Structures are given as structure tokens and as C-alpha cells.
């Protein structure tokens, strides 16, 4: 069972003294020498020093992603020739189909663009719609790049909640070494830090190995901007009547979409009336993106949060001694960083390989809190709550009088 960690204010100094005593006895050096004495540079001059980052960790670059089919790993680059071959076959098949009379009659009945499933909108595309499309693609670009960097910190995906090494179906690096899976050998056991990989800087943000904290900052910041942009889009969409472009009103949209697909695949494109009417494929694509995919992305993003995943997972599990209810990419409760005015303390990963419950002692500085510090504390509490819900951690936090 996890042990309760007492963090009461009168005992903070004694706890700190005990911690520093342990450090001095283990390393033989005073604890002050372990701290960074250089101070923080100005905000605009801050950068990541690869020689110091994460203890000078070697930049192990990601491999080309591979997918496991049964027991065989297949390089995803094979999707390029397979896609090209499939496109050639689709073009040949569509051109052959258009030679038949029944297909010609079908295309004549359902030309692809029709007022039967959506009325024409003659008001054109307003400026707010164009600007929001621009903001949307910019925000999504940063979200995707930061999301790939988050995945690079544990570059494997699983179909099981245990995330046991060797059961992944997707990976961006070599298998976990067999000689580093012995939990009894704590010095050599394979950890999340060992598994992290670096990405090209044009692909990932920031692209450096073991930068999940920075990547999440980028990801969540642009997630918020994307959500605000989406809410404004929904309001203006229905307030100005532009929703009529993307909401089909008849089942005729499906045969028209099929007709459009055949015409595009045969390289004999249908007539374009997109300024007033979308064709069947366009309206289905827009409707699915706006009213299905976007809300689903928001909901599944919430379910990846450790605190929510732990709560949802424990409802279906009679016993939850570990973090198994947390999604594969969040199989370990990630490092929670608590930022105070002049210090930065990180909580180690409680990853799936940890054989014992995690014990944490958190010290909070007595100083006014800025917005970023409050946000960091909220993130810290959410991650600790996930571990508590899974039965791996019980903490009593001591807060300074200024925020009690």
C-alpha cells in the first residue's frame, strides 16, 4: 500500500534538512553544489542547451514509424507505393465504369451537385470565414507538431491498457532491450526517459529528446486557441446562415457523393459550383469535420488527461493498483513540474515499470503567485490526482498562507 506523505508547514524545514542530509551523504558534496548557480536569463534569451538538457541526454533520433501485423513489423514507407498503386487501380476502374450505360444514367440522375440536398447560398464567403480558416490551419499545425513531440517521449502505441513492453502495435524506435527489463536491477531498468526520441525540428516542437513538458505547453496553449476559434466559428456559422452550405437536408447527398467520387477518379471532373453549392463529397466532408470530428477530438483529448482517465478507468475496474486505466500514450503519469519564483522542481515519472508506489514531497515557496505558477500548480494537482485515483499515491499538500 502507498505510504502517506505528511507535508505540514511546521515540518517543512525539517523535511528539507533531512533531504539535504541524504543528498550530502550520497554524493559527498554539499547540496548547494547540485543547484544551478547561473540564474535565469531574460525571457527572450532563454534557450535549450543540449549539453545540460535532461542531464546531457544523448539525442537518439526517431526511426521511421513501423506497424506490427501479427508478429511482423512493417515499415510505414510501404504506404507510399501501396497508395500510388491503389490510385492507379482506382483511375482505371472509374474510367472503365463510365463506359457502361447504367453508370452514365446514374451520373446524369445524380450529377454530384444539386439543390435537392442543400439550397444555394449566394452570399459568398465572408471575411470572418476566410480568416478563421487561416487561424484554424495555423493552430492545427502547431497542435499536430507538438502532439508528435509528445508521442516521441514514449514513441509507442498500444491496444491494451497495461502497455507492457513488446505488446505495442506502433513504434518509432527499436524494441526495448531484453536485458533492461529486469525490475530488480533499478540501475539498468528501461524507463520512459530512455525510450524518448528526438524529432527533426521542422516536424516536432521543439524537436529535442525528452521535452514532453515544453511540447505539452505548446500543445495545450494552441489547443485553447483552437477551441476559442472553433466556438466563434460555431456562433458565426449559425448567426449568418452559412451553416446551410454544410448541412445536408436530403439523403440524395450520398448518391451525389458517389457520383462525384467516380467522376473525380476517372479524371473527368464534375462541374464546379462551389461558390454557391458544394458537391456531395464536399458537403459530407465539411459536415463530418465540423460536427463530428472536431467535437470528437475535443472529447478524446479530455479523456487523455491523466486525472479524467483515472476516474473513468476506475469505474470499470474493481481494483486499480497501478496506472493501467490511463491511455497508452499517457501510460505513466508524466512529470509534474511545479514552478515557484526562483526554483523549478520536477516530479519523476510513475511509469509502468515502477514496482513500488510513488512517494512525493512538494515544497511550495512563500511568494506571490503569477498566472503561470497557478497554471503549473493546477497541472501538478491534476497529475497527482490521477495517481491517487489509481491507488498509487496519497499526498497531503501544505499550501502557504497567502493562498489558503
**Alpha-helix residue ranges (DSSP H) falling in 189-327:** 192-195, 212-239, 253-265, 280-288, 294-303, 306-314
223 φ, ψ to 5°? -60, -45
Q: Is residue 271 part of a domain?
A: no
Q: Is residue 372 part of a domain?
A: yes
Q: Is residue 285 part of a domain?
A: no
pTM, 2 dp? 0.67
- Provide mean pLDDT across the span 104-130: 91
- Partners of residue 394 on adjacent β-strands: 4
67 φ, ψ to 5°? -120, 135
Alpha carbon 330 to its chain centroid, in Å, reads: 9
How many residues does this entry show for the chain? 404
Q: Is residue 353 part of a domain?
A: yes
Q: Is residue 110 part of a domain?
A: no
- Provide mean pLDDT across the span 35-39: 66
Report d(CA 308, CA 340) in Å as an integer: 26
- Provide mean pLDDT across the span 348-367: 37
Report d(CA 330, CA 324) in Å as an integer: 10
* Residue-range definition of the domain harbouring residue 367: 4-26+307-403
Q: What is the pLDDT of residue 240?
A: 92
Structural domain tally of the chain?
Answer: 1
In percent, the amount of the chain with pLDDT more than 70 equals 67
pLDDT digits (tens, 9 = 90+) for 197-247: 999 989 998 888 888 888 999 999 999 999 999 999 999 999 998 999 999
- Partners of residue 339 on adjacent β-strands: 344
Q: Is residue 324 part of a domain?
A: yes
pLDDT digits (tens, 9 = 90+) for 174-185: 888 888 888 788
Q: Is residue 35 part of a domain?
A: no
Q: By C-alpha distance, which of 285, 273, 254, 258 is closest to 97?
A: 258
Q: What is the pLDDT of residue 267?
A: 94
Report d(CA 276, CA 357) in Å as an integer: 61
Higher pLDDT, 50 or 365: 50
Q: Is residue 96 part of a domain?
A: no
Q: What's the mean per-residue pLDDT of the chain?
A: 76
54-58, 270-274, 353-357 — which is least confidently predicted? 353-357
Report d(CA 212, CA 336) in Å as an integer: 11
pLDDT at 340 over 60: no
Amino acid at each position: 500500500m502507498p505510504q502517506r506523505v505528511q507535508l505540514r508547514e511546521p515540518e517543512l524545514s525539517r523535511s528539507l534538512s533531512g533531504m539535504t542530509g541524504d543528498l550530502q551523504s550520497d554524493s559527498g558534496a554539499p547540496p548547494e553544489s547540485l543547484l544551478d548557480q547561473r540564474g535565469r536569463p531574460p525571457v527572450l534569451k532563454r534557450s535549450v542547451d543540449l549539453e545540460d538538457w535532461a542531464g546531457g541526454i544523448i539525442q537518439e533520433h526517431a526511426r521511421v514509424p513501423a506497424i506490427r501485423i501479427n508478429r511482423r513489423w512493417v515499415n510505414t514507407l510501404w504506404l507510399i507505393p501501396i497508395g500510388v498503386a491503389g490510385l492507379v487501380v482506382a483511375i482505371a476502374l472509374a474510367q472503365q465504369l463510365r463506359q457502361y450505360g447504367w453508370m452514365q444514367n446514374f451520373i446524369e440522375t445524380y450529377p454530384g451537385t444539386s439543390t435537392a440536398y442543400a439550397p444555394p447560398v449566394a452570399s459568398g464567403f465572408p471575411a470572418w470565414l476566410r480568416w478563421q480558416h487561416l487561424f484554424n490551419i495555423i493552430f492545427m499545425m502547431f497542435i499536430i507538431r507538438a502532439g508528435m513531440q509528445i508521442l516521441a517521449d514514449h514513441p509507442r502505441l498500444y491496444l491494451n491498457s497495461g502497455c507492457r513492453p513488446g505488446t505495442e502495435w506502433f513504434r518509432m524506435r527499436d524494441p526495448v532491450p531484453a536485458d533492461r527489463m529486469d525490475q530488480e536491477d533499478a540501475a539498468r531498468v528501461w524507463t520512459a526517459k530512455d525510450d524518448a526520441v528526438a524529432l527533426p525540428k521542422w516536424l516536432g516542437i521543439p524537436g529535442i529528446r525528452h521535452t514532453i513538458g515544453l511540447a505539452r505547453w505548446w500543445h495545450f496553449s494552441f489547443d485553447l486557441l483552437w477551441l476559442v476559434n472553433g466556438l466563434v466559428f460555431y456562433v458565426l456559422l449559425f448567426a449568418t446562415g452559412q451553416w446551410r452550405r454544410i448541412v445536408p437536408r436530403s439523403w440524395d447527398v450520398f448518391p451525389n457523393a458517389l457520383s462525384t467520387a467516380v467522376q473525380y477518379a476517372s479524371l473527368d471532373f464534375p462541374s464546379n459550383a462551389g461558390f454557391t453549392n458544394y458537391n456531395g463529397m464536399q458537403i459530407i466532408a465539411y459536415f463530418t469535420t465540423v460536427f463530428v470530428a472536431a467535437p470528437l477530438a475535443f472529447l478524446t483529448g479530455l479523456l487523455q488527461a491523466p486525472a479524467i482517465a483515472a476516474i473513468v478507468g476506475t469505474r470499470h475496474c474493481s481494483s486499480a493498483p497501478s496506472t493501467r486505466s490511463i491511455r497508452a500514450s499517457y501510460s505513466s503519469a508524466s512529470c509534474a513540474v511545479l514552478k515557484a519564483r526562483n526554483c523549478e522542481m520536477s516530479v519523476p515519472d510513475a511509469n509502468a515499470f515502477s514496482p513500488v508506489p510513488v512517494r512525493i514531497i512538494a515544497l511550495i515557496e512563500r511568494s506571490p503567485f503569477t498566472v503561470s505558477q497557478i497554471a503549473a500548480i493546477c497541472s501538478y494537482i491534476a497529475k497527482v490526482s490521477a495517481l491517487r485515483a489509481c491507488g498509487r499515491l496519497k499526498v497531503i499538500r501544505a499550501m502557504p498562507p497567502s493562498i489558503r
